[in-house]
Amino acid sequence: MNSVTTQFFDLPELTHTLESLLTKSDVASLVRTCRLFKVLFESWLYRDLTLSSSRKLGPPAAGPRASSVKYLGVLGSTRSVRALSRNAHHVRTLSCDIEEIAYFFNCLLRHQERSADAANSNASFFATDQLASSTLPTPLTRPSWIPAPNVPLPHCRVIPLAPMHHLTHLKVNFMPWRASEALRYRMLTSEAATRLSVRHICWILQQSPHLTSLNFERIPIASHDEMQLLAATIQSLLRLEKIEFVLHAEEKVWLEGFYKIVFALPPSIKECKLLGQDANLPRPYRGSKDPRDYKQSEDDVESDLELEDGERSHQ
């Protein structure tokens, strides 16, 4: 690459201007041309991710900066997952489904295990030096409520994935997908993923302290303990400004646990919308051809709470 081009990209303002004029597909092609472009632009591909297993790879929405490119290929191979792990700290917006949450959970556990092994190795090295005994690395631990790693299904390989510490917007659809068996990264059956989804997502949330917006579609709550865990996790997100939840729970769990979430809202909250759906009703599936799977009656919704700026203190 000639010196003129190199000097051009040494100016951050010009680089950002070029980014604003390119689509994700343009940037993906650009990073393949040379190492300099890969260093400059690869992180932009991971800022806004849509990893929906129920959608096909489609064209970007209108506008050069549209972030709704269906980036299904990110989890399609070992190489692409490793690239995501390298750029996890660049992710700001993530939209995914229950299948991706189960896979992310196990990949994060694998990453933590690797980090723990490295910490233990360093501890063994420092232990031989008495002068360094006071600086021994602290072993990584995780709460007892976190489920054990799952045994991968055939054709699924778990790759260590670094936490998305700078994630600000998260949207998850917890409705099972009938065709999820075809996914190469599918970790669990639909039933197992649904049963463990609350603990999976809560642990992921605890590793993303910069979250400002949460949107959960039909998250299954099986017990009061799970409702309490979700409320405690929300309370720890001190930058959270907006939540929109549809909770799939039994009526008694919903009615008794509703106030726990309301009173757990951090002071930073500006907008809150909570919907409750009776767990005794059949859970719909994404990808179903039966229109009854998507029909929602007025009986589905138990309560609707919306908080705008300044209203929370009056509730």
- Mean per-residue pLDDT of the chain: 76
4 shares its domain with 111 = no
Sheet of 48-51, strand order: 48-51, 93-97, 169-173, 213-221, 242-249, 271-278, 301-307
Question: 142 versus 141: which is more confidently predicted?
Answer: 142
Q: Could you report the per-residue pLDDT of 37-50, keeping only the tens digit for each?
A: 787 778 888 999 98
Kindly tell me the number of DSSP H helices and DSSP E strands found in the chain: 9, 7
**Which is higher by pLDDT, 66 or 262?**
262
Q: What is the domain count for the chain? A: 2
Query: Between the ranges 215-224, 288-297, 302-311, where is the mean pLDDT highest?
Result: 215-224
Handedness of CA 54, 178, 187, 203 (dihedral sign): positive
Specify whether 167 is located in the same domain as 78. yes
Report the C-alpha gap between 224 and 105 in whole angstroms.
22
3-class secondary-structure state, position 273: strand
Assess whether 34 and 64 both reside in one domain: no
Q: Which residue has the tokens 């993530």?
A: 94
Give yes or no: residues 7 and 81 share one domain.
no
The parent domain of residue 22 ranges over 1-46
What are the angstrom distances between the C-alpha of 4 and each of 1, 7, 9, 10, 33?
8, 5, 9, 10, 17
Cα–Cα distance for residue pair 223/35, rounded to 1 Å: 51
The verdict on 64 and 29 lying in the same domain is no
Rounded to an integer, the average pLDDT of 258-274 is 93
Residue type for position 103: Y
In a shared domain, residues 24 and 145: no
Q: Which two tokens stand for residue 279?
A: 């767990």
Q: Given a cut of 90, is residue 132 above it in pLDDT?
A: no
pLDDT for the residue numbered 244: 96
* 17 and 137 part of one domain: no
Per-residue pLDDT tens digits for 236-265 = 999 999 999 999 898 888 888 888 999 999
pLDDT band at 179 (very low <50, low <70, confident <90, very high): low
Average pLDDT over residues 302-314: 40
Report which of residues 202 and 41 the model is more confident about.
202
Same domain, 151 and 72: yes
| pLDDT score at 38 | 81
Average pLDDT over residues 207-235: 95
pLDDT at res. 119: 62
In terms of domains, do 65 and 214 share one? yes
Residue 72: the pLDDT is 46
Residue 74 and residue 201 in one domain: yes
* In a shared domain, residues 159 and 262: yes
Rounded to 5°, angle at Cα 168 from 162 and 171: 90
Residues 282 and 166 in one domain: yes
